[in-house]
Structure 1
C-alpha cells in the first residue's frame, strides 16, 4: 500500500541563555552640547534576576521591566571607552549608518566580551567598588549592603571636549544568590551582567545618574534532536539536544591568584522513569555566527579540554544525573581554547532509548508522559556553583485495540491471529505479550526475540501498546477463527491516546458501536456475504427455500392442467 506520512511538529523550546542588561543612554546625549555640568555621581542599582528584554536607562527612574528585589554584595568597575568609541565611530564614516546605528553596533561589539576585553578598550577610572557592609577600601560610603554602589565625580567630557562614554562592568558577584539545589550544589540563575554603556551627560543637568544593570541569566534548553521524538514507539531510540550558553567572561583569570575564574562546567542529563541514558554524542559550537558539528572527542581536542563523559548506561529515575564535566586540560598554562568558548552556545546530543523492561513490569505506566530533564552548572575557582533552571521535554506512546466479532451476531470470536507492519520498518513488527499467556495484550519491542504473530485474547480483543501516534500501521489477519473466512484486505489504522477506536460503519450489535474497540468482523464458512445493507444473508437457505417454492408452483400448475382436461 502507499503510506501517508504524518508530519510532526518539532518541540521547539526557548533560547539557550537570556542575556539581560542595563542598556545605553539615547544617542542624543552623545552629541548634545555641554550643559555646564562637569562631573556627575553614578549610583548603580543591582536588581535580582531581571528576565525581561533589554531595557534602556534614562539615568533617573527604575525601568518598569525590573520587578525583582535588590541584590546586595555586587561589585562594579567603571571603564572610560570614549577614545575607543569615537575611533569606531570614525571608522564607520561613509557607511550610510546613522549615529544611533553606530552606537548600537558598538554596544553589540562589547556586550558579549569578557570584563578583561572591555577594560582593554579604555582606562579604568572607577576602581572596583563592592556593595558590602564589612567596611574596608571597597565598601560603600554608607557601610551598608543595600544593593547599591556609588561612584562620584565622573567627568562628563573627555579632555578633547567630547561627551564621555563609559562602560560599567560587574566584577564581583552578588552575595545572596545562593539557594540549596541538591547535595553539595548551590543554585542560582545569576551569572553576571553584561556591561551598561553610558553616554554623558546622561540625565541632563541632574547631578546624579541612576542606572539599573540587569543580570546575565544562565539558562539551558532541551529539544528533541528529531522532531518526531515527542510521539514515540517503544521500538525506537530518542535523542535530545541540550543547549547552553557559556559566560562571557569564561576565560578570565583572577588577578590575585592567576587562577581561572571558572574551573569547569557540567551538563547533567536526568532521564525519567522508562528511559535509559545511552551517552553524549555530537557537539555543536556557535562560532562566528556559524555552526561546527563534531564528535565530542574532536571538540575536546580542538579546544584543549578534558572531560569525564559517562560511558555506562543509566536507568532513569527522574533524579539520577549523567554528568558530563568539561574543563581546560591544562588550567595553569595555555587556555586559549577555553577562553574562545566565552559567550558561545554549545549543543550536546544525548542518546536515550525507552526502557522496555520497565514498561513490561509496569504496563500501567505506558500511557504516562515519559519525562526527561537536564541542567548544568558552572563551577568557579572559589567553589561557587551556578546551577540554572532545568530544561525538560516529554514523550508519549500510543495504543490501539481491536475486537473480533461474528459478522451476523456480533458475538466475540477467539482464535484469530494477526501481523503488523508500519512505515520505515522492514518486515513485521515484533511484540512481547503482556500479562498472562493468552491475554491478547502486546507491547511493541526492538528485541529480536519478540513475536510477529499476535493472537486475540479469550475475550476476542487484541490490544497493541507502545506505538507511535504519528505513524500509520497495517494489520493483516494471519489465521481466522475456526469455521470463519480469512479477511482478504489488511486494516490500516493510526494509534491514539484515547479509548475510542470504532469505525462509523461498524455493526450496532451487542453495543459494539460504543464498546471502544475497532471491531473486525468474520463471515462463517457456510455464509455468503450480501450485496448490500449490513450483515450477511444465508444464501444457501434462501436458495433451498426458493427451489421448494418453485416445486409447489409447478405441482399446482400441473394439477390445474389435469383438472382442465
Structure 2
C-alpha cells in the first residue's frame, strides 16, 4: 500500500517558514488554538479520494466502518528537527549543482519551494513509521485514542501548536480482526489549508478537518465436506469429514507496539445436533493446504488442541499461540482439518443427522479472574452437512389371526445366497453401537421377538437385505425362504407409524383371491393336527370295517349258492 501523505490537507505546507513568499487572504473562519480532526473510515472503496479537508458528499452510512480505533501521537519535535536537517541538506546540494542559475528570479522562487517540499516529504517519512505501529521517533507521545462509531466517524480535538511550533501528529490505526490490512499511518501537520475539488490549493485555514481513509474488509466462511462418498451409513461406520477455512489475510499482524501478535484466538468448531455423532479421537490431521506445513498436537508445545464438548455434541480445534505464529506468513491460504466420526446408538433413523462448522478468530484478553477485558473476535458459521442411516420394522404374526407372535428368531443376510454374510451388532462402549458383516451364524446378531412380535432392524445404510428365520414360534412352521427388504429413506418410520390391523381372510366363494398381508408383517402358519395313531377310536373303526367286509362276503357267497 502506498504511503499516505496528506498533501490535500497541507495545501501551503511551508507558509510558516516562507511567509514572505505569500500574501495571505483572510479566511471566512478565523483559526483558533485547537482544531477538530474527524476520521471517516470508508469500507471497501476503490479508486482515489480527494481529501479537501471538508466533509465529502455522496456517501451513505453503509459506506463507513465502525469499530476502528485510532491512536494519535504528537511527533512535533522529531518532525521539525528532521525537516530542518533535510531542508539545509537539499538546499546546499541544489545550490552546489545549479549555482550558475540561482540569479534567475522565478527559478530561485521555484527552487526554494521544491526544496521545502522535499524536506517535508523526508520529514514525514521519518516520523510516519510502519502501518499499524506506533512511531518510534524520539519524543513521540500518545495524546488521543478514539474509535469510529455512529457511521464510521471518530473525532479528535488537537492543539495546532506544540512546544511553540506548528504541531505534527501521526494517526495510527490499531489492528482489527476482519480487516485485510491496517491503513498506512497518517501524518498531519498544522496549519491545514483547504484544497479545492480539482486539487488546487487555497489559503483558507481549516479548524474542522475531515479525512477519509479506507479499509478493505474480509469475511471468512468455513466449509464442511463429507469425504466418504456415500449418502447413508451404517451405525458405527467411520465417516470422513473435512473442515476448511481461509486463514485471515492479516494473521501475522502485530499490535501497535510492533511486538505482540494481534491474533491469539483461531479455532474451528464442529457442532453436531442431538449427540448422534461421535468424534473419532484418532486419525485426524491439521494442515495448510498446498504446502508442507502440518500442525501437531503431540509435542510439548502443541500447535493446537482438541476439546470435545461435555455433552459430546461438539468439538473444537483451537490453535495455540505457537500454532498461530506458524501461520503468520500463510494469510489467505486454506487451513484444513480432516477427521472421522461415527453415527452412534442415538442416530436418527430416517432423519438427517446434522452437523455444522463454525470458525472463530481474533483477539481476546482475560484478566486473572477470567473476566474478558478485550474482545475482538469474529465468529462465522459455515454450511451444514447431513448423514443418514435407515432401518426396517417387521412384525411376526399368525397367518390367520394376524396376532403378534413371540419366540421367533431371525438373522439378517446381505444377499439371498447360502454363503451370504450375516449382520453383526455389538456395543464397543456405552455410546457407539457397531455394525459389521460376518461369515458365520454363531457370530450373527439374533433378533428375537417378544409378545409384540416386533423385529426392529436399525442403523443400516440404504440397500437391499434379507431376513432369514432361524427359529419359528412354538407350534408354527418355520419360513423356508428369506424375505427381501429394502432400506431407504423413510422405510423405517413409515412402518412404525402404520398400525397393524387384522387381516381380511379371502372369501371362500372366490378361491382365486389371494390373502393380502401388510408389507412389514411376517406371517407364520400353524402346524396342522391329525388323530393320534394307535388309539381306541381307530381300533374300533378298523374292527367295524373288517366286520362289514366279512358280512358282505357271506352275503355274496349265499346268493351264489341259491343261484
Scaled by the length of structure 1, the TM-score of the pair is: 0.49
Scaled by the length of structure 2, the TM-score of the pair is: 0.49
Bigger Rg over Cα: 2
